Amino acid sequence: MAKRMWTIRTGGDLGASVAEIRQLSGHTQAQLADEAAISRDYLAKLESGRSTKVLEHLLRLLRRMGATITVSFEEPDGTP
């Protein structure tokens, strides 16, 4: 299995990683939103980087303290 990693510095980075992982795992926005009990519109907002102010503030605090935030995903066998 291949492992992909994303460095998260902004809400846009986090949204892009969610969108890519969702696609790699074979979910549609509607399916993932339903499984996470959120609206598809909210998921679309997050994936496009239009995240909430709270998320941006938390990420900024973590960066200022020197933290590195990463997201990793183990791709299933056979995924390009």
Q: Which domain holds residue 65?
A: 3-74
Residue 14 three-state SS = helix
Q: State pLDDT tens for residues 32-70.
A: 999 999 999 999 999 998 877 888 899 999 999 999 999
Please check whether residue 45 lies inside any domain of the structure: yes
Please check whether residue 26 lies inside any domain of the structure: yes
pLDDT of residue 39: 95
Please check whether residue 80 lies inside any domain of the structure: no
Q: Please give the Cα distance from 6 to 4 (Å, whole number).
A: 7
Please check whether residue 57 lies inside any domain of the structure: yes
Residue 45 sits in a domain whose CATH number is: 1.10.260.40
Region for residue 72 given its phi and psi (left: phi exceeds 0; alpha: psi -120 to 50; beta: otherwise)? beta
| Predicted model pTM | 0.82
How many independent structural domains does the chain possess?
A: 1
> For residue 79, is pLDDT > 70?
no
Q: Please give the Cα distance from 23 to 79 (Å, whole number).
A: 11
In this prediction, residues 75-80 reach a mean pLDDT of 65
Please check whether residue 21 lies inside any domain of the structure: yes
